[in-house]
Amino acid sequence: MSASDPSLVRTAAELDEADPLAGFRNEFVHSETEADLIYLDGNSLGRPARQSLEAARALLDQQWPSRLIRGWNEGWFEIPQRIGNRIAELLGASSGEVVLADATSVCLYKAAVAALGARPDRTRIITDDQNFPSDIQVLRAAARTVGPDHEVVVVPTDGIHASLDGVRDALAGDAGDGPALLALSQVSYRSGWCWDMAEATAVAHEAGALVLWDLCHSVGAVPIDLTAANVDLAVGCTYKYLNGGPGSPAFIYVSSGLPQMVNPIVGWYGSDDPMGFDFDAGPALDASRFLTGTPPVLSSSPVGPAVELMLEAGIDRLRAKSVAMTERFIALVDEHLVPLGFEVRSPRDFQRRGSHVSLSHPEAQAVGQALLHEESVVPDFRPPDFLRFGFAPIYLRFADVDEAVARIMRVVEGGGIDRWRDAAPIVP
Minimum distance from residue 239 beta carbon to ligand PLP (Å): 7
Cβ proximity to ligand PLP, 135 vs 403, nearer residue = 135
Determine the Cα–Cα distance for residues 414 and 350; give it in Å rounded to an integer.
Answer: 32
Quick one: which of 27, 97, 214, 402 contacts ligand PLP (CB under 6 A)?
A: 214
Going residue by residue from 238 to 257, which x/- string records binding to ligand PLP, judged by CB under 6 A?
------------x-------
Residue 376 contacts ligand PLP per CB under 6 A: no
Cβ proximity to ligand PLP, 102 vs 402, nearer residue = 102
Determine the Cα–Cα distance for residues 162 and 214; give it in Å rounded to an integer.
Answer: 15
For β-strands 356-360 and 386-390, DSSP reports them as antiparallel
Closest by CA to 84, choosing from 279, 272, 291, is 291
Q: Are the CB atoms for 158 and 214 separated by under 8 Å?
A: no
The residues facing 21 across adjacent strands are none
Minimum distance from residue 210 beta carbon to ligand PLP (Å): 18
Q: Are the CB atoms for 221 and 187 separated by under 8 Å?
A: yes
Closest by CA to 186, choosing from 240, 140, 132, is 132
The helix-helix angle for 303-313 and 315-332 (nearest 10°) equals 80
Cβ proximity to ligand PLP, 183 vs 310, nearer residue = 183
Minimum distance from residue 82 beta carbon to ligand PLP (Å): 20
* Burial category of 332 from C-beta neighbours within 10 Å (exposed 0-12, middle 13-18, buried 19 and up): buried
Q: Under rule CB under 6 A, which residues in 327-366 are in contact with ligand PLP?
A: none
Instruction: Say which DSSP state 104 is in.
Output: H
Residue 402 contacts ligand PLP per CB under 6 A: no
Minimum distance from residue 134 beta carbon to ligand PLP (Å): 5
Other CB atoms within 10 A of residue 59 CB:
19
Is the dihedral angle over the CA atoms 267, 96, 91, 306 positive or is it negative? negative
Residue 185 contacts ligand PLP per CB under 6 A: yes
Considering the candidates 109, 132, 290, 381, report the single residue annotated as catalytic.
Answer: 132
**Furthest-apart CA atoms within the chain: distance in Å:** 70
Minimum distance from residue 235 beta carbon to ligand PLP (Å): 8
The region of 190-198, 213-221, 311-319, 325-333 touching ligand PLP under the rule CB under 6 A is 213-221
**Number of residues that this document lists for the chain:** 428
Cβ proximity to ligand PLP, 63 vs 185, nearer residue = 185
Residue 286 contacts ligand PLP per CB under 6 A: no
Determine the Cα–Cα distance for residues 357 and 375; give it in Å rounded to an integer.
Answer: 19
Cβ proximity to ligand PLP, 250 vs 377, nearer residue = 250
Reply yes or no on whether 132 is catalytic.
yes
Quick one: which of 1, 103, 141, 399 contacts ligand PLP (CB under 6 A)?
A: 103
Residue 237 contacts ligand PLP per CB under 6 A: yes
DSSP calls for 202-271 = HHHHHTT-EEEEE-TTTTTTS---TTTTT--EEEE-SSSTT---TT---EEEE-TT-TT---SS--GGGB
Quick one: which of 15, 112, 200, 216 contacts ligand PLP (CB under 6 A)?
A: 216
Residue 105 contacts ligand PLP per CB under 6 A: yes
Reply yes or no on whether 110 is catalytic.
no
Cβ proximity to ligand PLP, 214 vs 375, nearer residue = 214
Cα distances from 18 to residues 10, 171, 390, in angstroms, run: 11, 46, 22
Quick one: which of 24, 76, 132, 193 contacts ligand PLP (CB under 6 A)?
A: 132
Determine the Cα–Cα distance for residues 264 and 261; give it in Å rounded to an integer.
Answer: 9
Considering the candidates 240, 319, 321, 352, report the single residue annotated as catalytic.
Answer: 240
Cβ proximity to ligand PLP, 245 vs 416, nearer residue = 245
Quick one: which of 63, 104, 201, 369 contacts ligand PLP (CB under 6 A)?
A: 104
The region of 25-33, 100-108, 262-270, 289-297 touching ligand PLP under the rule CB under 6 A is 100-108
Residue 100 contacts ligand PLP per CB under 6 A: no
Cα distances from 313 to residues 27, 66, 95, 98, 394, in angstroms, run: 11, 34, 21, 21, 8
Residues at the interface with ligand PLP (CB under 6 A): 103-105, 132, 134-135, 185, 189, 214, 216-217, 237, 250
Active site residues: 132, 214, 239-240, 388
